[in-house]
Amino acid sequence: MTMKLTKVCTTALTMIFIAGLTACSTVDLTQIVVNQPQETFDKPEHNVVERATHSLTSMFKAKGWSKSDPNDKAQTATNVLLNGFETDEQSTITPVMAVSTRQLSADLADAEAQIKQTTKAAEVFLVMAEDMADLGAELSQLEAALLVAREAETGFGKALEASSNFIIRRKYTSLSSSIEDLKTVTDAYGDRIRLQIAARASTKRS
């Protein structure tokens, strides 16, 4: 009788111990699931206008199409020309024969492509922006990009003074047209901001 009672107690204790382990295991697994790192999605730090204008200004300065630290300028076709008018006092221009026509043509194409990309980004951003969205930063970025583009336009224009290559001149005309498009969208940002100021002033009076 005592032997049977002992076996019964031993069996019961074993079952309780196993049940306890199972319960503990369940808690641990649940805890692991809860503590798993959740997937996060980082928001972009810069909008399309900032990225596009930064890309334009960086590229144009790196290639020497606009003024920057001379030590950072790449020796490209247009850079040879720009070195001739770094300051207002300098009026001499490096002879165009020092520039490869093929390189000049490629530079014109690259510059126009970058300007068109910036213009398109600015147009899309303006359309998507809310009517009263703050566009001050984007306007400043576009104005800076436009200034850089104008500097490049001047450099390319001086390169063409002694060139009669029809294809090069046609590319320069296309570049100038693209710069005007960039100016147009930049002006549109200014117009939007002026409308916002007028709207706020009208609200205060009413």
pLDDT recorded at residue 56: 97
Asked if 30 and 90 sit in the same domain, the reply is no
Asked if 149 and 170 sit in the same domain, the reply is yes
Crossing angle for the helix pair 136-159 and 48-62, to the nearest 10 degrees:
30
Longest Cα–Cα distance in the chain: 121
Asked if 122 and 23 sit in the same domain, the reply is no
Asked if 70 and 121 sit in the same domain, the reply is yes
Euclidean distance between CA atoms 53 and 115, whole angstroms: 9
CA atoms within 13 Å, Cβ hemisphere of 185: 25
Asked if 80 and 163 sit in the same domain, the reply is yes
Asked if 29 and 54 sit in the same domain, the reply is no
- Per DSSP, 12 falls in state H
As for how many domains the chain has, the answer is 2
Q: In which residue are the tokens 């997937």 written?
A: 39
pLDDT, averaged per 10 consecutive residues of the chain (206 residues), comes to 48 50 44 43 64 96 76 41 43 45 92 98 96 94 96 92 87 97 97 94 82
pLDDT recorded at residue 15: 52
* Structural domain boundaries, residue 3: 1-41
Amino acid found at 144: A
Euclidean distance between CA atoms 63 and 77, whole angstroms: 9
pLDDT recorded at residue 203: 84
State both tokens at 166: 């029809």
pLDDT recorded at residue 99: 64
CB 82 within 8 A of CB 65: yes
Asked if 58 and 86 sit in the same domain, the reply is yes
In Å, how far from its chain's centre is CA 2?
85
Asked if 100 and 66 sit in the same domain, the reply is yes
Asked if 109 and 22 sit in the same domain, the reply is no
Asked if 134 and 57 sit in the same domain, the reply is yes
Residue 64's region, left for phi above 0, alpha for psi from -120 to 50, else beta, is left
pLDDT recorded at residue 35: 46
Asked if 94 and 158 sit in the same domain, the reply is yes
Asked if 63 and 37 sit in the same domain, the reply is no
Whole-number Cα distances in Å, 129 to 42, 125, 155, 170, 188: 21, 6, 35, 35, 13
